[in-house]
Chain A
Amino acid sequence: MLGLLFITFIIGRVMPVDPVLSIVGESASKETYDAAYKAIGLDKPLIVQFATYIWDVITGDFGVSLLNARPVADDIKRVFPATLELATLGTLIGVFVGVPLGVIAAVKRGSWIDQIARVLALVGYSMPIFWLGLVSLLVFYGILGWVGGPGRVGIFYVDIVPEVTGMILVDSILDRNWEVFRDALSHIILPALLLGYYSLAYISRMTRSFMLEQLSSEYITTARVKGLSERAVIWRHALGNIKVQLITVIALSYAGLLEGSVLTEIIFAWPGIGSYITTALLSADMNAVMGGTVVVGLVFVCLNIFSDLLYKYFDPRAK
């Protein structure tokens, strides 16, 4: 974690754009420049700057965005749930479609289902996500008009539902506002399906691989000797044994979706942390970039720790 902060710090300081200038403007006098320089703390030795930085992060102060002069922490609080919503939905799709697909592909190895699953996964690993997003937006929104366009909700529905979790789908259910829910759904469905596709490509491959390992084990034969139905053998015994490995895979997939949403958000004008970081980067908003990267990195680390914990909890051999 410390290393993470270290690297973001280095990156922030290495940026060739002068942060002071962005604050005071190009035509400021020398005194104003010096004052601002001191105010940001750039005159102190690097070590001190780093220490202050760490302290700020711990207390949740990511500094002020150089672009819109608002606290970065607030900005992040605002945009993060949007990404969370998208990534969660995508992962759910990946799990509920990917796991059964992987199981069936393993059980009916070599059949047409297995081949299709393989092709799906192969395409998923090769297709640029932003391109697929663009094309699907074109087809399903531009041409067919089946789904809502870019953005989270239509113009008329912005800020209608009181914000509880920041996730519009959840909030609209809590508020029982079905119109907003339907609209939000039509907007989220395409990017969620997109991310879900990438998720299921990965999850189905891994599930298949794990299942194949299990199906050639002796205890599967034992289960059959006992007279168990094939269904129970597969879904209770074999699947039960890969549960733990799947948890790690799902956590990794979730993390991957957080990454993938960076590009997806741009295509779909989704105001999440991905587009926040990218816009900040392109406008040299150093604080925002660092803040955003730290948060994303933090989520990654948490996911890793979480999946490790779950692993230990569920695998009796690890106890």
Chain B
Amino acid sequence: MNLLDVENLWVKFPTRNGVFDAVRGVSFTLGQERLGIVGESGSGKSMTGRAILRLIRPPGQVTADRIAVEGDDIMAMSEKEMRSVRGQRISMVMQDPKFSLNPVMRVGDQIVEAYAIHAKSTKADAKRKAMEMLEAVSIRDPERVYRSYPHELSGGMGQRVMIAMMMVPDPRILIADEPTSALDVSVQTQVLRIMDKLVQERGMGLIFISHDLNLVSSFCDRVLIMYGGRIVETCVADKLHEAQHPYTRGLLNSLPRLDVKQERLAVLERDATWRDTDSVSGAR
């Protein structure tokens, strides 16, 4: 059984000038693998992630034929039922820990909160769990970090705390929305490796959303390319250079390469017809 089934997902926003479709008929499945979703700003990749967690509030509208987590249709769930899905079965790591962590709450308390929502436990137990989690993300001084406030931590450490917080309730699926975009390059690989290790250890599924094609292709098993709210291509990560769709080729060609001599860096040409073709299915 797939960890996640998404069939025909649409996300619409009513605006003054009509309805804006952020996500148009996206379908894909996720197993115990690392799935990358790549696209430029406005391609709908982040919206897809948030729609899965049903975080999009009115006036935004989310419709889908089916969104199932381990077989359970979450579109049919009430808000209360959905709350037990969030965090416990699907979690999300966001871009910048400076903003995505509560600035006036100690970091340890925030991790404990993530755990205590879904598990009945004593305070001591929860604290122990949180400390374990901090160690699992390679934080060397968990006691000190536990007591810190988010602004006292570096970007890399903050993101690791975020990962710890999102993994502590032991979810099956992790959505990572641009998790390293706000980090220094030197720290990016470290954070990604930690995330990867945890995902593999626990047999989880990972959805990695990014604009960075290089990063995604080196890190994921499969890649979905999104443009204008649709999936325009899917392929296996190490077969990326065999991609067919002109947009993907355009993306690949606009990356500077050290091993091939290039006179000029290619400019991505966009074709208006790409928006109109049907979404490619991202099923395995």
Residues of A within 8 A of B (CB): 217-219, 221-229, 237, 240-241, 243-244, 315-317
Contacts and interface: CB of A to CB of B under 8 A. Distances in A.
B87 A226 contact: yes
5 contacts: A218-B96, A221-B100, A225-B87, A237-B102, A316-B149
Nearest to B57: A224
A233 B92 CA distance: 17
Given A227-B117, A240-B105, A317-B151, A222 B100 contact: yes
Interface string B78-97: 00000111111001101110
Nearest to B98: A218
B118 interface: yes
A315 B149 CA distance: 11
B55 interface: yes
Contacts of B53: 225
B83 A227 contact: yes
Contacts of A240: 102, 104-105
B86 A224 contact: yes
Given A218-B99, A219-B102, A317-B151, A227 B88 contact: yes
A241 B149 contact: no
A219 B104 CA distance: 11
Nearest to A241: B104
A225 B91 contact: yes
Contacts of B84: 227
Contacts of A315: 104
A222 B102 contact: yes
Contact of B117 (A218, A221, A228): A228
A227 to B, nearest CB: 4
A237 B101 CA distance: 10
A219 B149 contact: no
B94 A316 contact: no
B166 interface: yes
A243 B117 CA distance: 24
Interface string B169-181: 1000000000000
B245 to A, nearest CB: 32
Of all A-B residue pairs in the complex, the 8 with the closest CB atoms, nearest first, are A227-B87, A227-B86, A218-B99, A218-B100, A226-B87, A316-B149, A219-B102, A226-B114
B204 to A, nearest CB: 16
Contacts of B42: none
Given A227-B84, A227-B118, A229-B83, A222 B149 contact: no
Contact of B94 (A218, A227, A229, A244): A218
Contacts of A241: 102-104
B113 interface: yes
A316 B85 CA distance: 32
Nearest to B101: A219
Contact of A223 (B91, B102, B149): B102
Given A226-B87, A227-B87, A219 B99 contact: yes
Contacts of B113: 226, 228
B77 to A, nearest CB: 12
Contacts of A219: 99-103
A263 to B, nearest CB: 39
Given A224-B55, A316-B151, 14 more contacts: A219-B101, A219-B103, A221-B100, A222-B101, A225-B87, A225-B92, A225-B166, A226-B113, A227-B86, A227-B88, A227-B117, A228-B113, A237-B102, A317-B103
Nearest to A314: B104
B86 to A, nearest CB: 4
Nearest to A244: B104
Contacts of B83: 227-229
